[in-house]
Amino acid sequence: MTLGDEVFPVQTGDTILLLPGTPHRITNPGVETLTILCASAPPYANYDTVLLD
């Protein structure tokens, strides 16, 4: 998981809090499928998305 400049591993059962405006991404270095449950308050909108390299 990358949050801003911080990079750290996550595992099953972890919860990650993303503050508004925080650049973030997740990668799956494993062989198993990565499944994510995402909850957003206020509701997420597509116009909020900025794709980063």
Q: Report pLDDT digits (tens) over 2-29.
A: 999 999 999 999 999 998 889 999 999 9
**Helix, strand, coil % in the chain, rounded to nearest 5:** 5, 10, 85
How far is it, in rounded angstroms, from Cα 48 to Cα 6?
Answer: 21
Closest by alpha carbon to 1, among 40, 22, 21? 22
| pLDDT above 80 (res 42) | yes
What is the pTM (predicted TM-score) of this model? 0.74
